[in-house]
Amino acid sequence: MERYYQPEIECASREEIRTIQEERLKAQVRHVWENVPYYRRKMEEKGVTPDDIQTLEDLSKLPFLSKSDLRDAYPYGLLGVPLKDCVRIQSTSGTTGKRVVAFYTPHDIDLWEDCCARAIVAAGGTDEDVCQVSYGYGLFTGGPGLNGGSHKVGCLTVPTSSGNTDRQIMFIMDLSTTILCCTPSYAAYLGERMKEMGYGPDDIPLKAGIFGAEAWSEEMRQDIQRTLGIKAYDIYGLTELSGPGVSFECSAQAGMHINEDHFIAEIIDPDTCEVLPEGAQGELVFTAIDKEAFPMIRYRTRDICSLTREKCSCGRTHVRMTKPKGRSDDMLIIRGVNVFPSQIETVLLNHGYAANYQIIVDRVNNTDTLDVQVEMTPEMFTDNIGEVEERQRQLVDGLKSMLGIKAKVSLVAPKSITRSEGKAVRIIDKRKI
Amino acid sequence: MSIKQISVFLENRPGMLKEMTSVLAAHKIDMRALSIAETKDFGIARLVVDDAYQAINILKESSFVANLTPVLAVAVPDEPGGLDNLLGIFSDAQVNIEYMYAFIGGKEAKHAYLIFRVADTKAAEARLASKGLRLMTQEDIANI
C-alpha cells in the first residue's frame, strides 16, 4: 500500500493545489518586491507590479532569473530577509562557473526537509528503516537534505557522507541498512564493489535507493536495481531552490512528482522563452512560493524535460516531470549537434558495457572529435580480435544512430576510469573555444 | 585433448604489457608461450603457462579482463619440414586454423611446440586423433 508523508498535501485535489499556489505566489511576489531590490528592478523594467499577479496565468508576466543573475547578485544581492534571520548557507560545487550560495531561514530548512521526507516515504521509508546517507555532507545539499528528511521520517540515520567505499559497505552489511541515498554513479560503484566482494542481491539488506544530483538513464537504473537487489528511486533538486527533494519518484517510477505546494513548474522554449503547453519538452523553470531567505522567481534551471498532470497510480496529484535528459551544463554541442552524456550511457548499457565511461571532446583541424572511452568487461571480451572489433563496431553504430554523429570508441582497461564518490566526471572537453 | 590458453585484454598504452607480466612474475607464474595480437586501439595477449587456473585468478584479482580459451598444442621435431608435415595433417583432417603461434625449447631438446586455435575444438581433436596425431595435455605443458 502506498504511504505518504503529508497525504493531505501530496494527494490534494488539483483545485486545492491551485488555490494554495495562487495564494502563495501573490504573497511571494509581494515579499520579493518589498525585500529584493535586484528583482524589483527587473520587474520595474518589465512594467510589472505585485498587483498584476493575481492568478497562475499571470506568472508569465514576471521576468526570469538565470544563473548569470545569481552570479551578478553574488553573494547577498538576492537575499529576501535580514542576515540575522538566516541560519544556514549551502553551496554548489561551482564546476560550471561561480558557486551559487543559497541562504536558509529555519522555515526554509523545514520545508526542504519536508520535501526530502516525502521522497523517503515514497521510496517505502518508515521509522523502522535504517537510512544511510552517502551523499556528501557540508556545503553540498545532498547530505544535509536527506539527513533532515530521514530524521523527519524517523529512520535510523547513518550519516556516512561520501567516500571510503569499504566503510560504506561495512555499515550497510553490519547495520542492515535498508535505504541508501547517494549519487547514481556512486550507487553503481558500490554495487560493483559489493559484487567483487561476493555479495549477491540476496545478501545485501538494502531494499531501496534514492539517487540523484546527476543525470542517469533508465538502463543504469535497471543495472543498479539488479546488482543491489533494490528499487532505485530518482530524486531531483537544485541548491538555488533548496536542494534535493524539489521532485521525487514514487512507486510507479514514472516521472518525479514536483512538490507543487512549494514550487511552481513551467516549461519554456529555451530560445524564445515562450511558455510551452503540458507534455512539450523544453527548459524547466521554477518559482519557489514558500521561501523566505533566498526567493527564486521563474528561475531557469537549464534542465530539459517535460511535465504531465496525468493521474499517477500512486495516488499523488502533484505534477510529474520526466527525468531531465541532462542539465544543459552537461549538454555538449559537437559538430553542431546536441549530445547528452545520458544518451551515450544508454547505448553503452544496451551493448553490454559498464556505465563507467568518459567522454573526451577535442577539436582537431577545426572539427570536433568525440572519443568515448569504455572499460572492457569480461562479458564483452573474447580471445578473438575480430570479434572484439566487431562488437566495438556495433557500439560505434549504436552511438551513431542515437546521437546522429560519429564517435570513436576506445576500449580501455577495467578500473582505469576513475570512480567518483560524488558527481561523476564524465566529460573532458579539451576544445579551446 | 585441448589445453588452456589465457587471453588477456590489453589497453593500448605504454606499460600495459609490463603491468601484466609484473603480476605474473610476482606470483611466480612460468610462461611457456606468448603471442600478442594487436589492433591500433588495443591488444590481446595470449599465453600458455604452467598453471593456467592460478594465473587467471591472479590476473582477475589484479583487475585484468582475461579468459581461458581451449587451444590445441602439438610437439614436432625441430627440423626443416616439421611444421609443414603437421599442417599436412590439419589440412587432411579439414581443420580450419583461426590463429597459431610457435615456440622452441624446453627440457627436451630438438622439439618445437605449436599452439592452434580452431573454431570447433572438440571436432578438431577427434579428426586429428583419427589421423594418428598426439595432442599435448595440460600436464605435458607444465612439464616442458
| pLDDT for residue A367 | 78
* Per-position DSSP letters for A205-219, written without gaps between them: ---EEEEESS---HH
Threshold 0.90, pTM exceeds? no
Q: What is the rounded average pLDDT for all residues in chain A?
A: 91
Q: What is the rounded distance in angstroms from the CA atom of residue A285 to the CA atom of residue A307?
A: 11
For domain B3-69, say whether CATH 3.30.2130.10 is its number. Answer: yes
Class assignment of domain A1-325?
alpha beta
Cell 522563452 belongs to A273
- Report H helices in B16-69: 16-26, 52-61
User: Within its chain, how far is the Cα of A171 from the centroid?
Assistant: 25
pLDDT at residue A432 greater than cutoff 70: no
Q: Dump pLDDT digits (tens) for A24-47.
A: 999 999 999 999 999 999 999 999
Which cell numbers in the block locate residue A51?
498587483
Q: Do residues A118 and A245 make contact, with C-beta atoms less than 8 angstroms apart?
A: yes
Cell 538502463 belongs to A219
| pLDDT for residue A103 | 98
Going by C-beta distance under 8 Å and a sequence separation of 6 or more, which residues neighbour residue B109? B78
Band of pLDDT at residue B66, cut at 50, 70 and 90: very high
Q: What is the rounded distance in angstroms from the CA atom of residue A396 to the CA atom of residue A417?
A: 20
Q: Do residues A108 and A292 make contact, with C-beta atoms less than 8 angstroms apart?
A: yes
| pLDDT for residue A276 | 96
Band of pLDDT at residue A167, cut at 50, 70 and 90: very high
CATH 3.30.2130.10, chain B: domain bounds:
3-69, 71-143
Helix (H, G, I), strand (E, B) or coil at A320: strand
Closest residue to A383, CB basis, from B16, B64, B67? B67
Q: Dump pLDDT digits (tens) for B22-36.
A: 999 999 999 999 999
Q: Does A352 touch chain B (CB under 8 A)?
A: no
Distances (CA, A) of A361 to A90, A370, B50: 32, 5, 45
Average pLDDT over residues A191-212: 95
pLDDT at residue A238 greater than cutoff 80: yes
Q: Taking the CB of residue A429, how many other CB atoms lie within 10 A of it?
A: 14
Average pLDDT over residues B89-117: 87
| pLDDT for residue A253 | 95
Q: Dump pLDDT digits (tens) for A272-317.
A: 999 999 999 999 999 999 999 999 999 999 888 999 999 999 999 9
Cell 530524521 belongs to A151
Residue of B nearest to A410 (CA): B41
Average pLDDT over residues B54-65: 93
Q: Dump pLDDT digits (tens) for A90-117.
A: 998 655 556 789 999 999 999 999 999 9
| pLDDT for residue B41 | 85
Class assignment of domain A332-429?
alpha beta
| pLDDT for residue B138 | 87
Cβ-based contacts under 8 A for chains A and B: 50
Q: What is the rounded average pLDDT for all residues in chain B?
A: 91
Cell 510551452 belongs to A276
Collect all residues of chain A within an 8 Å Cβ-Cβ radius of residue B17.
none
| pLDDT for residue A93 | 63
| pLDDT for residue A98 | 65
| pLDDT for residue B109 | 65
Band of pLDDT at residue A209, cut at 50, 70 and 90: very high
Q: What is the rounded distance in angstroms from the CA atom of residue A314 to the CA atom of residue A317?
A: 9
Which cell numbers in the block locate residue B122?
572438440
Domain extent listing, chain A: 1-325, 332-429
Q: Would you tell me which CATH number, out of the four given (3.30.2130.10, 3.30.70.2190, 3.30.1360.10, 3.40.50.670), belongs to the domain B71-143?
A: 3.30.2130.10
Q: What is the rounded distance in angstroms from the CA atom of residue A23 to the CA atom of residue A259?
A: 16
Band of pLDDT at residue B5, cut at 50, 70 and 90: very high
Distances (CA, A) of A283 to A126, A264, A306, A364, B101: 34, 14, 8, 32, 59
Q: Answer whether A1-325 and A332-429 agree in fold.
A: no
Q: Do A381 and B65 touch (CB under 8 A)?
A: yes
User: Within its chain, how far is the Cα of B51 from the centroid?
Assistant: 13
Please give the helix or strand (H or E) that residue B122 lies within, else none. Answer: helix B121-130
Collect all residues of chain B within an 8 Å Cβ-Cβ radius of residue A389.
39
Which percentage of chain A shows pLDDT scores above 90? 68
Average pLDDT over residues A326-354: 77
Q: Do A385 and B37 touch (CB under 8 A)?
A: yes
